[in-house]
Amino acid sequence: MFLRYRLCGIALLLLSLTVMSCSDRGPRVLVFMKTTAFHHESIPDGAAAIMEMGKQHGIKVDTTSDASWFKEEKLGKYRAVVFLSTTGNVLNSTQQVAFERYIQAGGGFMGVHAAADTEYDWPWYNKLVGAYFKSHPSDPSNVLKATVIVTDTTHPAMKGLPEKWERTDEWYNYKSINPAIKVLARLDENSYEGGENGDNHPIAWYHEYDGGRAFYTGGGHTKESYKEPAFLQHLWGGLEYAMGSGAPLDYSKAYAVKTPEDNRFTKTILSNDLNEPMELAVSGDGGAYFIERSGKFYYFDPKTNATKVVYTFPVMPDTKEGFGNGLLGLTIDPDFDKNRFIYSITRRQLCRLHSAYRALLWPARILSTLLLKKYY
């Protein structure tokens, strides 16, 4: 009898764990709340509102301010990642690559309010979020009543909203606006003081980007926003878009790779006094060849760490009738270490530098001879 109860207990425990595991595999979103600059007091309210809406719609919501979550094995279980009024530089270079790969694999992103005040030195993120924060009104207050003009009533984030939506919030002006965004709503700058984007002042938008989906809303500064039914409807509709159809992520489509840290490179200054440098080629032994449009041909010797003008090509000067004259291009032969061939091009001639090559124009012959005699 005891054995029977024990077996039943084990079976119930396994069933419970199985249910928990299945439940854990349901659709999830991650709300990221890290700030390194201004911290919005409304962030906990926003997180609580998204969690409550997730509960209502059967979506599990995880929240964190810990950037170490940005790794493939963690991000891979989320349908979308929400940047909830993040500010400043919130991810290091390794975490940035992990997030890029997540989007490239088909992940979704939703930016709320100060997500546009985040990662100014990351061009990829600028395109993803759609724009950067420029400024906001401050006189008589940073929080003002304004009219939002809804330009697309078919998108999930805008369904049911009035075409002229009056609400109170902190209204951002934007810079570095990605021209590829699809604007869902714009601000009527005649309805409040302090707008700087003119007649086309976007305040909510979406777009497909780099394999994934992105939605952004400029609302959400105030705590009251997250008790406003219309704004919550707007927010959830945007998140629904970001989550997509539920297709699994495909990391075979991700291509972002981490670049080495700056401290793994050695910078060597070849010259700090150049006039219109055009092109540079580096040989296998570390020698560097580079040119100026004025005709000067330089060689950097890695053994002495010295740069010399090897030859100056006579080139045609710019005139009113024609511009772009001069020495325009340079490269070394793929087998340069064996044949010592160097190629240069002016507007009027292509030179192959080698003393045994007979079809050279005279400047190339002189240059070839100088190089071969002096350096080889």
pLDDT in tens, the chain (376 residues): 444 444 444 444 433 333 333 345 689 999 999 999 999 999 999 999 999 999 999 999 999 999 999 999 999 999 999 999 999 999 999 999 999 999 999 999 999 999 999 999 999 999 999 999 999 998 778 999 999 999 999 999 999 999 999 999 999 999 999 999 999 999 999 999 999 999 999 999 999 999 999 999 999 999 999 999 999 999 999 999 999 999 999 999 999 998 777 777 788 888 888 888 889 989 888 889 988 888 888 999 989 989 999 888 887 776 666 566 778 888 888 888 888 888 877 765 444 333 333 333 334 434 443 443 333 3
Locate CATH 3.40.50.880 in the chain: 26-253
Rg of the Cα trace of the chain? 30
Task: Tell me the C-alpha distance between 357 and 213, whole Å.
Answer: 57
> According to the model, what pLDDT value does residue 327 have?
81
Task: Tell me the C-alpha distance between 207 and 144, whole Å.
Answer: 28
Tell me the CATH number of domain 266-375, given options 2.40.10.500, 2.30.29.30, 3.40.50.150, 3.40.50.300. 2.40.10.500
Q: Are strands 288-292 and 277-282 parallel, antiparallel or unpaired?
A: antiparallel
Phi, psi of 120 (to 5 degrees): -70, -15
CA nearest 277: which of 259, 263, 262, 295? 295
What secondary structure letter does DSSP report for 142? S
First-to-last alpha carbon distance for the chain, in angstroms, is 95
What residue spans of the chain are helical by DSSP H?
Answer: 2-24, 43-57, 72-75, 93-104, 123-129, 229-243, 336-339, 362-375
Both tokens assigned to 103: 């989007």
Tell me the CATH number of domain 26-253, given options 3.40.50.880, 2.40.128.110, 3.60.21.10, 3.40.50.300. 3.40.50.880
Locate CATH 2.40.10.500 in the chain: 266-375
**C-alpha distances in angstroms, 37 versus 115, 127, 232?**
12, 21, 26
